[in-house]
Amino acid sequence: MKRKFLFIFMGSLIVVFGIGFYAEGAFWRGFLGDVMIVVLLFSFFNMIVIQPAWRGAIAALILSFVVETFQYFHLVDFLGIENKFIRIVIGTHFDWLDILAYTLGFLICLVIGGEYKASIIQEVK
């Protein structure tokens, strides 16, 4: 099971870096990148510790929402952070579409983790 999440993590990492280095436009960098960050976090959490998979999905969603909240309150400016890498990781701009992207990423994580399929099977029985 953890091997599955390792492959998802590596694939997500490649996609996130590809978007970061080569993609242009609000959809690719702003929306799809945020969706993929949630998948990346989810796969990382489930690769190292969290079981069942839905817990990793919730952890990734909560972390994403926390970071977006930091952006809303301009935490990097408040703390006077000048390091470019940290500013990129935490972010400097709040956007409601990011919340939508994180939620979509969360739903994708549930499907990847098999949680969505499992709930449908239980409803059918």
Structure tokens at 76: 């990097």
Q: Output the six-digit token pair for 116.
A: 């969505």
Asked which of 20-29, 39-48, 61-70, 116-125 is least confident by mean pLDDT, the reply is: 116-125
Contact indicator for 102, 65 with CB cutoff of 8 Å: yes
Question: Average of pLDDT values for 5-14?
Answer: 94
Q: With 80 as the cut, is the pLDDT of residue 125 above it?
A: no
pLDDT band at 120 (very low <50, low <70, confident <90, very high): very low
* pLDDT tens-digit series, residues 32-46: 999 999 999 999 999
Contacts of 58 (CB under 8 A, 6+ apart): 106
pLDDT at 122 (0 to 100): 55
Question: Has residue 80 got a pLDDT over 70?
Answer: yes
The predicted model gives 18-24 an average pLDDT of: 87
Kindly state the DSSP code that residue 74 receives in the 8-state scheme: T
Phi, psi of 48 (to 5 degrees): -100, -30
40, 10 contact by CB (below 8 A): no
Q: What is each CA distance from 26 to 97, 105, 118, in whole angstroms?
A: 11, 17, 34
Residue 115 reports pLDDT greater than 80: no
